[in-house]
Structure 1
């Protein structure tokens, strides 16, 4: 920490940020933008593969449609509902197949990164996070590493569910058969 102390010096006093701290603000802003993009795209994709799974199996999903979105933000339910939705989609899309390991890795890493991490989930000013980084950098790094690893595992989840549905001959919402499944090229 600079000799002048933390950015927020209390009683409404702030010191000028260092170049490193300014850089952290930029990285945080970019990370927040990426989070908003993913938080928008993933539920849309999840809704589509859920519709495909329903068309493939002919069964109603275990979780009602509002849980696709509410499952991420309702306290306590957000500890299992999103993973349950993904597992339900896989069971309906690939009956008899084991749940891909990536699902459990994705969810475990996501949960590991959330309680101690920072980002859109916490209404803490960036200056407070900077102070925490000066005093407790390793927990922040561990949380960030877990979230980044969860994102990578999430890519494998998307690929696994999409591949399972394609093997059954589905390429988009409402279970339209693929050209391979219909014999047309």
Structure 2
């Protein structure tokens, strides 16, 4: 079908050789749903590079920290799941020179914690979890906490012993609010 039509095709045997029909089917479905999204992202990035006269191969980080071609990512976008935390681990290794470390990646609404083990990201042997579902994608083993730089932190109202509550609201960072609204 791919050869005759030029349309993307997702086949489960290309994504995983492991047994487990339901998880393979889920992984295949998620891959198929991500194809158009990654295609638009890659096309926009290639257009940006071309408009600036930059002739360089476009590489994408996979969920295990490896680099793959844009063409590979267009066919198998599911393998880019958790690429951000994986890239953070690879970057931490490069910047520190450490082979073994616990790396914390603090974003706007979450903090991801993962382990660099022997110079490589520690992978989740069970596969990445996407939307609460376990896939067959090899990706970084990571714990995510709902606290980031923009997370709302409040005290529980109307309680004798109030607890600290995190989110779910995202607040405008103070520095950005000051820049947007000036001195008030």
Q: Normalising by structure 1, report the TM-score.
A: 0.25
Q: Which of the pair is proportionally richer in helix?
A: 1
Q: Which of the pair is proportionally richer in strand?
A: 2
Greater relative contact order (Cα < 8 A, sep 6+): 1
Q: Normalising by structure 2, report the TM-score.
A: 0.25
